[in-house]
Amino acid sequence: MIHISNLHKSYETGETTREVLTSVDLEIEEGEFVAIVGTSGSGKTTLLNIMGGLDRDYDGRVVVDDCDLAEFDESGIAELRNETFGFVFQQFNLLDHLTVRENVALPGFFTERDRQRELPDDEISPEELLHRVGLGDYLEQSPSTLSGGERQRVAIARALYGRPSNLLCDEPTGSLDHGTGLQIMELFQQLNREQSITLIVVTHEEHIARMARRIVRLEEGRIVADEPNDPVEPEASSLVATAGDAPDAEEETT
Ligand SMILES: Nc1ncnc2c1ncn2[C@@H]1O[C@H](COP(=O)(O)OP(=O)(O)OP(=O)(O)O)[C@@H](O)[C@H]1O
Ligand SMILES: [Mg+2]
């Protein structure tokens, strides 16, 4: 869970100080699916970076899984980030000189020695994750040969590789067309439903936000609305195959 109380954030540029987040209170419990919306400059990215421990220059309290982020040193916060958060950004941030599989395996599974180590029983391999996001046939290709939606799915598989309990996504559909953006959100809905991953998705697109179960609205650094939402959910998405499921192992119909 993420509990933020009385958060203030200012940037100093030259001689002026500008407050970009003001008195933000926000509680996100495990398993929620939250969209954070607001116009450009309203503070969405700033808020996401603070809750993910990427930016710790703020006033107020940010508590993640009972740990106050202010109490960690740099290596402690890096460890918490790796264990707790997966990040997905608008621009994918994939490395084209590596294969799709290697991109997912970054950083933990990259050396030859790592590749040969035995996976613990509950560890999901990069290959498995790529199958789950529907990219099992693309393992050895370069991301440069994939479409935008496919690249974003590689980025999502990579973010999931550390088995994060929270996936923080900053405009994950921002560079995708309408339909592909909705498909990515359906994938998020499925991950949220089936694996109880907490999802926090920053977007300025209303149709994307309406796929979440809660919508938090920021205006000029303040939360002006925070409401449950009844999302549009497809009955069954073909985007994600559940691990080990044979095609005929579908849920029983009564
Ligand atoms: N490093 C920085 N230095 C100074 N000001 C900054 C910095 N980063 C962001 N800001 C300012 O803080 C405000 C909030 O920025 P933020 O990136 O959080 O907005 P956003 O809601 O994510 O916008 P967008 O939808 O355009 O991505 C903006 O006015 C921005 O100019
Ligand atoms: Mg932003």
Residues with CB under 6 A from ligand 1: 11, 13, 20, 38, 40-46, 204
Q: Across the chain, what does the average pLDDT equal?
A: 86
In a domain, 67, yes or no: yes
Pocket test for ligand 1, best of 7, 10, 16, 42 (most atoms within 8 A of CB): 42
Pocket test for ligand 1, best of 13, 37, 45, 222 (most atoms within 8 A of CB): 45
What is the domain extent for residue 25? 2-94+165-228
- Measured CA to CA, the distance from residue 137 to residue 114 in angstroms comes to 23
pLDDT band at 168 (very low <50, low <70, confident <90, very high): very high
In a domain, 132, yes or no: no
Ligand (nearest to CA of 46): 1
Smallest CA separation from ligand 1 atom 17, residue: 45
Question: Could you read off the pLDDT of 209-242 as tens digits, one per residue?
Answer: 999 999 999 999 999 999 999 997 765 444 554 4
Ligand (nearest to CA of 89): 2
pLDDT of residue 45: 96
Can you tell me the mean pLDDT for 77-91?
89
In a domain, 203, yes or no: yes
**% of the chain exceeding 70 in pLDDT:** 85
Strand partners, 26: 4
Nearest-CA neighbor of 224 among 2, 43, 32, 3? Answer: 43
In a domain, 114, yes or no: no
Q: How does 51-81 read in b/e, with b if 16+ C-beta sit within 10 Å?
A: bbbeeeebebebbbeeeebeebeeeebeebb
- Measured CA to CA, the distance from residue 246 to residue 200 in angstroms comes to 31
- Asked whether the predicted pLDDT for residue 248 surpasses 60, the reply is no
The alpha carbon of 49 and the centre of ligand 2 are apart by a number of angstroms equal to: 10
The number of domains in the chain is 1
pLDDT band at 139 (very low <50, low <70, confident <90, very high): very high
- Measured CA to CA, the distance from residue 116 to residue 108 in angstroms comes to 12
Prediction pTM value: 0.86
pLDDT of residue 106: 78
In a domain, 71, yes or no: yes
Ligand (nearest to CA of 49): 1
The CATH number for 41's domain is 3.40.50.300
Can you tell me the mean pLDDT for 7-35?
96
Please enumerate in sequence order all residues whose Cβ is within 8 A of that of 43, keeping only pairs 6 or more positions apart, or say none: 9, 20, 21, 218, 220, 221
In a domain, 154, yes or no: no
In a domain, 182, yes or no: yes
Counting atoms of ligand 1 from 1, which one is nearest the CA of 43?
18
The alpha carbon of 11 and the centre of ligand 1 are apart by a number of angstroms equal to: 9
The alpha carbon of 193 and the centre of ligand 2 are apart by a number of angstroms equal to: 26
Smallest CA separation from ligand 1 atom 3, residue: 11
In a domain, 172, yes or no: yes
- Measured CA to CA, the distance from residue 110 to residue 121 in angstroms comes to 19
Pairing of strands 2-13, 59-64: antiparallel
